[in-house]
Structure 1
Amino acid sequence: MNSADASPALRKRHGNGPLFFVFGTVFAVLTAVGWGFSVMSYSGLSGSVYHQVVSYDTSAEDEAGITFEVNSQDGAECLVTALDAQHVEVGQTRASVEAGNRMVTTSVDTVRQASAVEVASCREQDPES
C-alpha cells in the first residue's frame, strides 16, 4: 500500500473537507467578535462612575479628611471609609456628587485616629430620586 492510496481515507476520516474549514472559520470569527464586543463594553464593577483619590489628611484624632475626583454622567453616591494602621475600618461616610467631573472634599468622623482614607465605591444615583 502506498501513501497515495491512504491519503483520501485520512482526509475523509479527519474532516479535512471545505465544509469543516468554513464552519471552523465562521466559529472563530464570531468568537473573536463576541470577545471584542464584551471587552469594549466592559465598564468595571462600579458601572460608569470613575473616581480617584487626590489627597487625604489623617492628622486629627477623631476625624479624617479626603479630597477625590469623581466623573459621572448622572451624579453619584460615594462611600468613603477611614482605616487605622491595622486596616480596620474606624469610620465611614457617604458623599453625594453632582453629574460631571467634580472635585470633592469631605471629612469622616472616626472612633480613633485613622492612618488612611479611601473611596470604597461610587455608584450612579438613581435619576428618579
Structure 2
Amino acid sequence: MNSADTAPALRKRHGNGPVFFVVATIFAVAVSVGWGFSVMSYTGLSGGVYHQVITVSAPSESEARISFEVNSKNGAECLLRALDNQMVEVGEVRVDVEGGNRMVNQTVETVRQASTVEVASCREQGSQD
C-alpha cells in the first residue's frame, strides 16, 4: 500500500477537515460577536435612563402627584402625563433630574380630575432622541 492509496481513504473517513474547520470557526466567531453585542445592548452597558413609578395620587380636580425613581448617568429629562379615567391627557409637565439614582416627587397641574399619572419618557439631558 502506498501513500496515494491511503489519502482517499482518510478523506472519506474525516472529510475535508481543514476547510470545514475554518468555515466553522469563522461562523462561531461571528455568532459570538453578535451575541455579545446584543447582550451588551440589552443590559444597558451602552448607557440609558431607567425609571420606576412608586406612587400616584390625584387629590383634587386641579392637581395630581407622582413619586418615581430615576437612574441615569448624567441626568435626565422626564415627561410626566396626567390622564383621566378615559385615558385622555389632562396635564403634562417636564422635569429635569440630576444624575445618579434619584427619587422625584412631582405635582402635575390638571384641567379636570385625573385618575393616574405616568412617566411618558425619560432620556439623557441634552439628547435629541
Distance between the aligned counterparts of 2:85 and 2:126, measured in 1?
35
**TM-score relative to the length of structure 2:** 0.76
Distance between the aligned counterparts of 1:109 and 1:70, measured in 2?
21
| Deviations 1:66-125 (CA, angstroms, capped at 9, x unpaired) | 011111111111000111111111111001111111111111111211111111111111
- Name the aligned partner's letter for residue 82 of structure 1: A
Q: How many residues align?
A: 113
Distance between the aligned counterparts of 1:95 and 1:43, measured in 2?
25
- Name the aligned partner's letter for residue 17 of structure 1: N
Q: Which runs of 5+ in 1 are unaligned?
A: 1-7
Distance between the aligned counterparts of 1:36 and 1:43, measured in 2?
11
Tell me by how many angstroms 1:21 deviates: 4.1
User: 3-state DSSP class of the match of 1:42?
Assistant: helix
Tell me by how many angstroms 1:59 deviates: 2.5
Structure 2 residue aligned with 1:75: 75
From the superposition, tell whether residues 21 and 39 of structure 1 become closer, same or farther in structure 2 (CA, over 3 Å). same
Tell me by how many angstroms 1:65 deviates: 0.5
Identity %: 65
Q: Which runs of 5+ in 2 are unaligned?
A: 1-7
Superposition pairs of residues 1-129 of structure 1, within 5 angstroms: 16-18=15-17, 19-42=19-42, 48-126=48-126
Root mean square deviation of aligned Cα:
2.3
Tell me by how many angstroms 1:40 deviates: 1.7
- Name the aligned partner's letter for residue 30 of structure 1: A
Distance between the aligned counterparts of 2:90 and 2:114, measured in 1?
7
| Deviations 1:45-67 (CA, angstroms, capped at 9, x unpaired) | xx511111110111211110101
**TM-score relative to the length of structure 1:** 0.76
User: 3-state DSSP class of the match of 2:24?
Assistant: helix
Distance between the aligned counterparts of 1:73 and 1:33, measured in 2?
26
